[in-house]
Amino acid sequence: MNNLPEFIKKYKQLDLSRSIFTRDEKKYDSIAVVPAIDEYDNLIVLLNSLAELEKKYLDDTLFLFVINNSDKAGEGVKENNRRSLEMINNLICNKITDTRLNPGIIESGLNLGTVDASTPGNELPDKHAGVGYARKTGMDLALTKFDYSNDKKKIIICLDADCTVDNNYLTEIVESFNKRNLNAAYVDYEHTLPSDEIEKSAAITYEIFLRYYTLMLKYTNSPYAYQTIGSTMVCTAEFYCKAGGMNKKKAGEDFYFLEKLRKQTDIKLISGAKVRPAGRISWRVPFGTGRSINEFCNSVKEKGNAESELSVYNPSIFLLLKKWHAVYYRHDYYENGREILNSAVSVHEGIEKFLVEQGFPIAWERINENAASPDQIMKQKFLWFDAFRTMKLIHYLRDNYFPNVNLFDAVDRMFELYDIKPGIARKGNIPGIEEQMKYLDYIRKLYVKIMES
């Protein structure tokens, strides 16, 4: 600890209770942390993808795999993890133990490391075991493996075991952080689509929803408009610590971590390379891609269609949110919270009711008492109406005023709001798979254009 930078010493939640197994004591400028549970086959696919990375920054990068399970995990999961740990540890020692691995992986220049959070005595405690704790374990340990002797950005990259990446993935991240002076970012993504038609439709529509939500937040001028997918997150070691590190949540760890990160710095899009998460059914988290695809498929099996799974936030909510942001972030001085509430009710009564329920009048008194300048007041407003409260307001307006609408109706309305005509001739509430793919292709391009503007 004595040799670590001051910002790490100030990071009170640092957990170094586990250790990293690597080939040597080398230090790095970039470290990618990959939590993995029951992912042996997917790890082979990911490792083969990493073996194809451009070499420019490979020697200065460590790929750290956190093989994890709880102390109450089933025997099948434990055995899968045992094989995963053994396979990667053998690779570290220049041994290939599975013929599906790229034969050139040893000579590829990949620097690999593992954290054993799975074998007897090393498991994660069941109370906290999950993707958040696994990410935190790896990200905290990564802080000890950086080369702090040079002035290059020390970059923590989040990746998942069910992903592949473009061969320029590492190059884009390192150069974006150093040339654009980034502190936090997310890499653009495209789900790998399953061959099964129902699962494919589920993956397509889920990604459309994710991009719709972020684009609509951007439309409202929300300062919290960014993608919240764990396998796309990137930040510097310094801002990881400033944000208080990763949390131990079993799901939604990405949402809450990025919210804390955004309160410290801007979060920018890196669009020049793609992360490609698997669009698959999964049991690993209670929500997210895998769970959404599972629910979509179950709906089709039980009801013959997935209309109930293809309803999303009403665009009318975002129109109101845009007006509310214009009022809330105005530089005018407000004597008391009642003035802001009056402005809120002029936008919509639901916003005023929500603010009262959230205790805004009392919060505003504290902001006024503690802020010494207009800039400090603006900062405190930004911190109070954060990503979580934004989502809670959206849910409040949905539950009380504006019920969900059909996904494709919502997306068509979004195109209108952005004054865009994609030229897609939709047939019916749920278009066929070809039309769905046209929507996805178009919204992927639009996403990059809008989020970089």
Residue 21 has pLDDT above 80, yes or no: yes
CA distance 106 to 434: 41
Neighbour count for residue 367 (Cβ, 10 Å): 20
Over residues 269-286, mean pLDDT: 77
Over residues 117-138, mean pLDDT: 96
Confidence of residue 338 (pLDDT cuts 50, 70, 90): confident
Residue 100 near residue 43, CB atoms below 8 Å = no
Burial degree of 332 (CB within 10 A; 0-12, 13-18, 19+):
exposed
Confidence of residue 294 (pLDDT cuts 50, 70, 90): low
Give, in degrees to the nearest 5, the angle at Cα 113 between 108 and 118.
135
User: The whole model's pTM is what?
Assistant: 0.94
User: Among 103-112, 179-188, 192-201, 328-337, which stretch is predicted with the lowest mean pLDDT?
Assistant: 328-337
Residue 337 has pLDDT above 60, yes or no: yes
Give residue-wise pLDDT tens across range 191-212. 999 999 988 998 999 999 999 9
Confidence of residue 285 (pLDDT cuts 50, 70, 90): very low
The domain locations on the chain are 6-192+223-280, 315-400
* Class level of CATH domain 6-192+223-280: alpha beta
**Residue positions counted in the chain:** 453
Of 277, 246, 31, nearest to 160 (Cα)?
Answer: 277
Residue 273 near residue 168, CB atoms below 8 Å = yes
Whose tokens are 């310094």? That residue is 238
CA distance 444 to 227: 13
Residue 280 has pLDDT above 80, yes or no: no
Amino acid at the residue 251 = A
Residue 371 has pLDDT above 70, yes or no: yes
Over residues 116-123, mean pLDDT: 98
Residue 35 near residue 118, CB atoms below 8 Å = no
Averaged pLDDT of the chain = 93
Which residue spans within 278-355 are E strands per DSSP?
311-312
3-state DSSP assignment of residue 237: helix
Burial degree of 290 (CB within 10 A; 0-12, 13-18, 19+):
buried
Of 31, 33, 449, nearest to 230 (Cα)?
Answer: 33
Residues 6+ apart with CB under 8 A from 291: 282, 285
Residue 324 has pLDDT above 70, yes or no: yes
